[in-house]
Amino acid sequence: MDDLCEHCQFNLGYIVDHIKEININNINDPMFTLNHDNFQYLCLECHNKKTFGTPKEKIREGFSFNELGELVYSPPIK
């Protein structure tokens, strides 16, 4: 089946994402981690946007995302 990304409804879904981030306080709580209301099916692009910020936006000095949503190291040009 072709499940589209629940966010952009355009790309095919790539990853099941937790809407609310899992953290140290809820990782052992099945009511949270296995709660389907907290799942969304995202394409890679939307997942990266949600998790790392907008692609091509510099997330920290020297690192950025390319058009494939991959983290790349690009040293600042001096």
| Binding-site ranges for Zn ion (CB under 5 A) | 5, 7-8, 11, 43, 46
Nearest Cα residue to 47 out of 75, 74, 63, 71: 71
Strand locations in 1-78, DSSP E? Answer: 15-18, 39-42, 63-65, 71-73
What is the token pair recorded at 28? 């052992």
CB of 16 or CB of 74, closer to Zn ion: 16
Rounded least distance, CB 64 to Zn ion, Å: 20
* Smallest separation, CB 36 to Zn ion (Å): 19
Q: Which is nearer to Zn ion, 15 or 64 (CB)?
A: 15
Q: With respect to Zn ion, which residue has the nearer C-beta, 8 or 68? A: 8
Task: For the CB of residue 62, give the shortest distance to Zn ion in the complex, in Å.
Answer: 27
- Asked if 16 and 41 count as a contact pair (C-beta separation under 8 A), the reply is yes
